[in-house]
Amino acid sequence: MSLTMMSWIFFLIYIGALVYLGWLGQRKTKTLTDFVAAKQSYGWWWLSLATMAQWCSAAAFMGQPGLGYNIGFPALWYVIGYIFSGFAWALSIYGMWQAGARTGARSTPNYLGIRFNSKAIQLIAALVTLMMIFYVAAQFVGLGWVFMVALNIPSYLIGCIIAAFITAGYICAGGTHSDILTDALQGFVMVIVALIALFTAFLLVVKGGPAAVNASITAQNPAIGWHNTFSSFAPSFMPWAAVSICVALGFGALSPQMSKNFLALRSSADIKKMVIFSAILMIIMSFMMLAGIGIRALYGTHPELGPLLAKQPDQAIIQFFTREFHPILGAFLVVGILCAIMSTADGLYLVISTAITTDIYRDMIAPKIHKNITPEALDRRALILNRIMVVVIAVVSLWIATPPPKFLTVLLWTGLGGFTVAISPSLILGALFRRTTRVATLASMIGSIAVYIYLITIGGMHPFPAIGYGLIVSLGLHLIVNPLTKPEPEEHLNRIFGKISPK
Amino acid sequence: MKPGYVVVVAAVIALILSIVAALYGSFAAYMVMIPSWFIVILIFVWAMEKMGRSKYVEEKIEERGEKR
């Protein structure tokens, strides 16, 4: 049986599982809060797998092997950042869970608005979340390639449309419940695939193990070997940009599709388990970059694949899986890549649609223009709008993803960078320190997003170094403005976090 | 030593190790930074539990539920 036929069989089983879990999610969804937050509904292992799956996307399963293939060991700075993702989750989850459980916050912008008692902060966070549309588009780029190569679909666009239809379908049905259930399943498949990729594409691909891989790629280009700390030819992995992206992976991990999961954690006893298990899962995901480096050793001098992958390095992992494995295993691995991409796209639909319909319309505009409507009726209206908006976002993302860019990691970070610089530092500091003030948070958000947008548009800068500068502005403004401004009233802080913890 | 200070000391040690490892190349940086920062995460979790953050919250929320 051919690889394409096997891929279709696995694909249909996979879609069947997603539809079933989407239906389960739909049964659990009765209210707007169920749809956007699934508050305190899941244990640590569901949410650890789902959070990892939402963070590791097309970039993890295609972009990172592509970077490893093209840039070699210096590209490892990207996945070193994964351990900082785990650290950022640890720093923010305790405070955010407390606040969510006490105040009923139902999204990340909503949590920030409640934490700092400011509608302006909620509005800015919701608007910055809209930039994530580029992140969704990056997922479609990955899906288009996978469908073309593995499922033999003739058109990149058709592949994107099929994926958009499926993901939008189950998110419309069950919102956050469907998102968490399907992503946990997909995260489990991703872990298996990443472990297989590590052993086959890095440890065993060349006789002699990692040292032989290094010798092989160093012979192709000395600048990609492991003795190089940074890249001498790829601007995105030169010293400043490499360290920036490493740190940014920590702050970016608090993007709303992940941080909203903290609100869904059932009990505070699960927090430490979720933190530790999520960090371990992120370490496993870093193996995909090593796989890309191993594939370079294998295919770098191949007469046919060498020139092809030099032009499209993001295809390295798919070419490896489809060429080197028995069709059954190859097809399973291709489904793993689909899992990585679709699990991120679905969560992103949800946070963007929630930002528009719940954070902006339901919480700010609707109470002013519909004064005679009850909050429950407004919730019902926002729920319907949320479902419609998921479909609109899928269509707009498809439009952005056509035609595909050369490096999908760049498109992804263009969208993600805004949230990383403007919102994530305030999420961490606001969760950790009661002394973090509203004015400092506003200054940090506005200052950093302005600098970031200026650098990537007028300045024409790559997103990686631009994020580094944005984070300096964001953290610097917190450092300067916090001591100069009045802390939030103690009564307000006690309502959110409780009284200062007992000694 | 207070749990918060233990976390800071652990982070500083991990940072020094990271810089030293990076001098030996990108793969050495990867092999050292991942485990050392994972240990920092474990110490942070220990510190938060030691400070009783999560237990305290649980009690307060239960209290609120009872009042209702």
Interchain pair B44, A77: CB under 8 A: no
- Residue recorded with tokens 């010798």: A215
pLDDT at residue B59, rounded to an integer:
54
CA distance B13 to chain A (A): 15
Nearest 10 degrees: Cα torsion A101, A107, A111, A113: -150
Per-residue pLDDT at A503:
42
In angstroms, the CA A229 to CA A475 distance is 26
Listed residue (A159, A152, A144, A145) closest to A2, CA to CA: A152
How far apart are the C-alpha atoms of A170 and A380, rounded to whole Å? Answer: 19
**Cα separation, A245 vs A236, whole angstroms:** 9
Coil, strand or helix at A501: coil
Residue appearing with tokens 């958009």: A164
Q: How far apart are CA A119 and CA A360, in angstroms?
A: 9
CA distances from A72 to A179, A225, A234, A284 (A): 34, 6, 10, 19
Q: Are A122 and A363 in contact (CB under 8 A)?
A: yes
Distance between CA A23 and CA A29 in Å, rounded? 10
Question: Which residue from A minimizes the CA distance to B46?
Answer: A272
Question: Chain B residues with CB inside 8 Å of A74's CB?
Answer: 26
B39–A contact, CB cutoff 8 A: no
Q: Which residues of B touch A90 (CB under 8 A)?
A: 41, 44-45, 48
Considering only alpha carbons, which residue of chain B is nearest residue A237? B26
Which residues does residue A265 pair with via DSSP β-bridges, in sequence order? A42
Cβ of A84 within 8 Å of Cβ of B38? The answer is no
Give B62's pLDDT tier (boundaries 50, 70, 90): low
pLDDT in tens, chain A (503 residues): 677 888 889 889 999 999 999 999 999 999 998 998 888 889 999 999 999 999 988 778 888 899 999 999 999 999 999 999 999 999 999 888 888 888 888 899 999 999 999 999 999 999 999 988 888 888 888 788 778 877 888 888 888 888 888 888 989 999 999 999 999 999 999 999 999 988 888 888 888 889 999 999 999 999 999 999 999 888 888 998 888 888 888 988 988 888 889 989 998 889 999 999 999 999 999 999 999 999 999 999 999 899 999 888 988 888 898 888 888 888 888 888 888 888 888 888 899 999 999 999 998 998 888 888 888 899 999 999 999 999 999 999 888 888 776 666 677 777 788 999 999 999 999 988 889 999 999 999 999 999 999 998 888 888 888 988 999 999 999 999 999 999 889 888 888 887 654 44
User: 3-state DSSP call for residue A265?
Assistant: strand
Check: CB of residue A285 under 8 Å from CB of residue A86: no
Q: Return the DSSP state at A378.
A: H
- Write out chain A residues lying below 8 Å of B24, CB-based: 227, 229
pLDDT tens across A151-190, in order? 888 888 888 888 888 888 989 999 999 999 999 999 999 9
- A and B: number of Cβ contacts within 8 A: 100
Model pLDDT, residue A297:
93
CB A190 within 8 A of CB A53: yes
- A76–B29 C-beta distance less than 8 A: yes
Optimal mutation site among A98, A213, A288, A493, interface B, most CBs of chain B within 10 A? A98
How far is B18 from chain A, CA to nearest CA, in Å? 10
The answer to whether the CB of A262 falls within 8 A of the CB of A92 is yes
Tell if the CB–CB gap between B57 and A98 is shorter than 8 Å: yes
Q: Which of B37, B42, B53 sits opposite A501 (nearest CB)?
A: B53
Cβ neighbours, 10 Å, residue A384: 11
Kindly determine whether residue B45 and residue A269, on different chains, have CB atoms separated by under 8 Å.
Answer: no
Beta-carbon separation of A76 and B26 below 8 A: yes
What residues have CB less than 8 Å from A377, skipping those under 6 apart?
none
Tokens of residue B53, six digits: 């953050």
